[in-house]
C-alpha cells in the first residue's frame, strides 16, 4: 500500500469533493450522512478550509475509510475469519511429532517471522518535513469539529503510540485528542486503556511521558489501534500477522517513541502528569456527548509529515458509522481469544446500534442448568468484555446472531422474568446512565432454555393505549412489536413528569395484556423505528435502577434526572446543526428529508 489513495481508488473507488468546505461542521456532517448510505465509499475533501481561522489547507481530508464490509475485508487482505483461524491455530499449537508434522508446520511458522515490528535506523517517509519551535501550529492541520456543542476541534483517527516507564511494553491506541492551542492536545485516556496504565506509571515516578500521535498511512494501523489486544501486547504485532510483513518503525525526532515509517503525519511530545485541563464536551460514538472532564495534556515538541500528506479522520455519533465495519472485523478476529475462557462459546456479535459495549449477543452449547449465567460472569470478567452492559445468550438451536428478526422471536419465546440476571460491575468511561461513574448495572438474559407458554391476551395498539391512558395521563403513544411471540414488546412514549417505575404498580391491572413494557421519552423517539429505539434504550438504562420484573418486565429507557434519583449531569445526544445541513443541501452536497431525520435521529423532531 505505497499509495493509500490510489489503493482506495482501485478497491471500490473514492468520492472526491472539490468544493471548499469548512472543517468545522460542514465536512463532518457530509461524512456523517454519507456513511449511512448502503453504498457508501470513502470521501476525499481536497479543498478543506477553516472559515473561523481564515485558512485554506494544502492537505486533503480522507474520511469513511472503512466505508463498507467489502472494503474492510480488502483492507485486511482476507476475510477476518481467516485471520481468526490463524490466531486459533496459534493458541492450540502443540509441539510437532515426527518429521512430517514439522514439515507441515513450516509454512505457518514462517509467517510468524513477520509478527514483530522492525526498527529502522534511518528517517521515515513521515519525517520528510519537520516543524519545530515556532513552526509548530496545530491550526495548520485540518482538524475537525463535528458537533455544535463540541468543546473544540478534535483529532478523531489518531494512532497514539506510547511505552511504559521501563520501556519493556509498547502500545498504540485510538483516542480522541482535543486541540487546545498551537502546541497542546488533550489526551482522552479512558481508565481501561494501556495508555492510561502507562501514564500512571510515569505519574507515580514524577516523570514526563513521551507520546507520539500518527495520522494516516496504512488503514490497518488505524484498526490495530482500536483492537482489544491482551494487556501488554503491542497491537502492531497484529499488523505483521495480518499483512504477512513486519511493521517498519522509525524513531520520533524529539522523543524515543517509534512510529510506522510511512504514516502521513506525526505529532510528537510529552505529557506532564502534573498538568490537567478540561477536555470536552465531545459528541462520541455512543451518539451522546461525553461531558467536560479533566484529562492530561500533551505538549508538542515537533510535527513531522510526508511532503504531500493526507489527513485521515472519522466522524462518530449515532449509528450506523464506519466503526460498524471496524467492529465487525474486531469481533470476528478476536473470537478465538474468548473461546479458551468460555469453551462452550459458539459465536458472539455486537450489533452496531448497541454501540458495542452496550449490547452483546452470544450463542453457546449449554451443558447444565445455570450455564448461561456462568458465561455472563465470564464475559463480565474478561478484558474489554467486562465493560459490556447487556448480554443475551442463546443456545445452539438459535438462528444466526445477525438474523435479528428471527433471533428476537427465538429469544422472546424462551424468557420469563427469572431468565433475567441483574448484577453490578465496571462500566465504560463513556457510559452516562449509571448513578456513579465507572460502576453500574449489568443485565444478562438466559434464552438457552425451552419455549415458554404463551398466555398473553393481546389487545390492539389502539385499545391497549386507550386503557393505559385511563390509568396514566403522561403516556402519549404506543407500539407493540413481536406480537406473535410469548413475550410481545410494548413500547410507550411519555411526556415525563415523574419516575416511570411507578408504572409497574399503576398498570398492574393490565398485566394479562403486557409482558414487556419499554418506556421512552416522547421527544426525539419515533416508535416505528426499532433500530434507534434499541440504540436509545441500551444507552439509557442502568439495570439495577431501571428494570422491574413484576407484574411484567418494565424497562425505563427515558432520560434520567433528579426525579429518578439520578444526580449526575445527563448529556444530550448528538444532533446535526440545522443551518449547516440546510446550507449543504442547498449546494447539492447532501440529501435528506423528514423520513431520514427520523430514521437516524439526525435532528430534533
In this model, does residue 54 exceed pLDDT 70? yes
End-to-end CA distance of the chain: 45
DSSP reduced 3-state for 323:
helix
Architecture of domain 342-447: 3-Layer(aba) Sandwich (3.40)
pLDDT at 1 (0 to 100): 41
* SS3 track for 455-524: CCCCCCHHHHHHHHHHHCCCEEEEEEECCCCCCCEEEEEECCCCCHHHHHHHCHHHCCCCCEEEEEECCC
Domains 342-447 and 461-564 share a fold: yes
CB-count exposure of residue 168 (10 Å: 0-12, 13-18, 19+): exposed
Q: How far apart are CA 501 and CA 227, in angstroms?
A: 39
Half-sphere exposure of 578 (CA within 13 A, CB side): 4
What's the rounded mean pLDDT across residues 201-210? 94
Q: Decide: 580 and 29 in contact? Cβ < 8 Å.
A: yes
**pLDDT confidence bin for 126, thresholds 50/70/90:** very high
In this model, does residue 47 exceed pLDDT 90? yes
Q: How far apart are CA 79 and CA 93, in angstroms?
A: 22
Write out the three cell numbers for 29. Answer: 456532517
Q: How far apart are CA 219 and CA 5, in angstroms?
A: 11
Q: Is 34 a catalytic residue?
A: no
In this model, does residue 596 exceed pLDDT 90? yes
pLDDT at 4 (0 to 100): 80
Average pLDDT, the chain: 92
> Which of these, 495, 549, 504, lies nearest to 524 by C-alpha position?
495
Domain-wise residue ranges, the chain: 4-79+108-313, 342-447, 461-564
Provide the CATH topology of domain 461-564. UbiD C-terminal domain-like (3.40.1670)
Q: For 368-424, what is each residue's pLDDT tens digit?
A: 988 998 888 887 877 778 889 999 999 999 999 999 999 999 999 999 999 999 999
pLDDT at 94 (0 to 100): 56
In this model, does residue 110 exceed pLDDT 70? no
pLDDT at 5 (0 to 100): 82
Q: For 132-153, what is each residue's pLDDT tens digit?
A: 999 999 999 999 999 999 999 9
Q: How far apart are CA 292 and CA 281, in angstroms?
A: 5
In which residue are the cell numbers 509441539 written? Answer: 95
Who's near 6: CB < 8 A, 6+ residues apart? none
pLDDT-above-70 percentage for the chain: 95
Question: 297 has which bridge partners?
Answer: 186
DSSP state for residue 288 in the 8-state scheme? B
Write out the three cell numbers for 604. Answer: 430534533
pLDDT at 90 (0 to 100): 61
**pLDDT confidence bin for 445, thresholds 50/70/90:** very high
CATH of 4-79+108-313, one of 3.40.50.720, 3.30.930.10, 2.30.110.10, 1.10.10.10: 2.30.110.10
Q: Which of 22, 34, 194, 284 is catalytic?
A: 284
Write out the three cell numbers for 178. Answer: 482535543
> Alpha helix locations (H) across 456-520?
461-471, 503-506
Q: Decide: 271 and 160 in contact? Cβ < 8 Å.
A: no
Q: For 211-230, what is each residue's pLDDT tens digit?
A: 999 999 999 999 999 888 77
What pTM value is reported for the model?
0.93
In which residue are the cell numbers 510483513 written? Answer: 245
In this model, does residue 102 exceed pLDDT 60? no
Q: For 350-371, what is each residue's pLDDT tens digit?
A: 999 999 889 999 999 999 988 9
Question: 290 has which bridge partners?
Answer: 282
What's the rounded mean pLDDT across residues 241-246? 90
**pLDDT confidence bin for 332, thresholds 50/70/90:** very high
Amino acid at each position: 500500500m505505497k499509495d493509500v489513495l490510489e489503493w482506495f481508488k482501485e478497491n471500490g473507488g473514492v468520492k472526491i469533493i472539490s468544493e471548499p468546505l469548512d472543517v468545522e461542521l460542514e465536512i463532518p456532517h457530509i461524512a456523517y450522512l454519507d456513511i449511512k448510505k448502503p453504498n457508501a465509499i470513502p470521501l476525499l475533501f481536497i479543498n478543506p478550509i477553516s472559515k473561523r481561522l481564515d485558512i485554506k489547507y494544502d492537505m486533503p481530508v480522507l474520511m469513511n475509510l472503512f466505508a463498507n464490509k467489502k472494503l474492510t475485508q480488502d483492507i485486511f487482505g482476507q476475510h477476518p475469519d481467516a485471520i481468526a483461524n490463524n490466531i486459533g491455530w496459534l493458541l492450540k499449537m502443540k509441539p510437532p511429532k515426527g518429521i512430517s508434522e514439522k514439515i507441515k508446520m513450516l509454512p505457518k511458522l514462517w509467517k510468524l517471522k513477520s509478527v514483530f515490528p522492525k526498527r529502522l535506523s534511518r528517517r521515515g517517509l513521515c519525517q520528510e518535513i519537520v516543524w519545530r519551535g515556532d513552526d509548530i501550529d496545530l491550526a495548520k492541520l485540518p482538524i475537525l469539529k463535528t458537533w455544535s456543542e463540541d468543546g473544540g476541534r478534535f483529532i478523531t483517527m489518531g494512532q497514539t503510540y506510547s511505552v511504559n516507564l521501563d520501556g519493556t511494553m509498547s502500545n498504540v491506541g485510538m483516542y480522541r485528542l482535543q486541540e487546545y492551542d498551537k502546541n497542546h492536545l488533550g489526551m482522552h485516556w479512558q481508565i481501561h486503556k494501556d495508555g492510561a496504565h502507562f501514564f500512571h506509571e510515569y505519574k507515580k515516578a514524577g516523570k514526563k511521558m513521551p507520546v507520539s500521535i500518527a495520522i494516516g498511512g496504512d488503514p490497518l494501523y488505524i484498526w490495530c489501534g482500536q483492537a482489544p489486544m491482551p494487556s501488554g501486547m503491542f497491537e502492531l504485532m497484529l499488523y505483521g500477522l495480518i499483512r504477512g510483513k513486519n511493521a517498519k518503525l522509525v524513531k520520533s525526532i524529539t522523543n524515543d517513541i517509534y512510529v510506522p515509517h510511512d504514516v502521513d503525519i506525526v505529532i510528537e511530545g510529552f505529557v506532564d502528569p502534573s498538568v490537567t485541563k478540561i477536555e470536552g464536551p465531545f459528541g462520541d460514538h455512543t451518539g451522546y456527548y461525553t461531558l467536560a472532564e479533566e484529562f492530561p495534556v500533551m505538549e508538542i515538541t515537533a510535527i513531522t509529515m510526508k511532503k504531500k500528506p493526507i489527513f485521515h479522520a472519522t466522524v462518530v455519533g449515532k449509528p450506523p458509522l464506519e466503526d460498524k465495519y471496524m467492529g465487525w472485523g474486531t469481533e470476528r478476529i478476536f473470537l478465538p481469544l474468548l473461546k479458551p475462557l468460555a469453551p462452550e462459546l459458539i459465536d458472539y456479535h455486537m450489533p452496531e446500534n448497541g454501540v458495542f459495549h452496550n449490547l452483546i449477543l452470544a450463542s453457546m452449547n449449554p451443558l447444565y442448568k445455570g450455564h448461561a449465567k456462568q458465561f455472563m460472569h465470564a464475559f463480565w470478567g474478561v478484558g474489554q468484555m467486562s465493560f459490556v452492559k447487556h448480554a443475551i445468550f442463546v443456545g445452539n438451536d438459535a438462528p444466526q446472531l445477525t438474523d435479528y428478526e428471527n433471533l428476537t422471536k427465538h429469544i422472546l419465546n424462551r424468557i420469563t422474568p427469572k431468565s433475567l440476571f441483574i448484577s453490578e460491575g465496571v462500566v465504560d468511561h463513556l457510559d452516562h446512565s449509571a448513578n456513579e461513574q465507572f460502576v453500574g448495572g449489568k443485565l444478562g438474559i438466559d434464552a438457552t432454555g425451552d419455549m415458554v407458554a404463551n398466555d398473553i391476551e393481546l389487545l390492539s395498539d389502539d385499545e391497549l393505549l386507550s386503557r393505559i391512558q385511563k390509568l396514566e395521563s403522561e403516556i402519549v403513544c404506543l407500539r407493540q412489536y413481536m406480537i406473535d411471540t410469548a413475550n410481545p414488546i410494548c413500547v410507550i412514549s411519555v411526556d415525563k413528569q415523574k419516575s416511570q417505575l411507578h408504572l409497574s404498580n399503576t398498570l398492574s391491572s393490565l398485566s394479562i395484556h403486557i409482558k414487556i413494557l419499554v418506556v421512552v421519552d416522547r421527544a426525539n423517539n419515533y416508535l416505528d423505528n426499532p433500530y434507534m429505539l434499541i440504540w436509545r434504550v441500551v444507552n439509557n438504562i442502568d439495570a439495577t435502577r431501571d428494570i422491574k420484573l413484576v407484574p411484567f418486565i418494565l424497562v425505563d429507557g427515558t432520560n434520567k434526572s433528579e426525579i429518578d434519583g439520578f444526580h449526575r449531569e445527563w448529556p444530550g445526544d448528538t444532533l446535526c446543526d440545522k443551518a449547516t445541513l440546510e446550507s449543504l443541501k442547498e449546494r447539492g452536497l447532501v440529501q435528506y428529508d423528514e423520513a431520514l431525520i427520523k430514521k437516524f435521529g439526525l435532528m430534533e423532531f
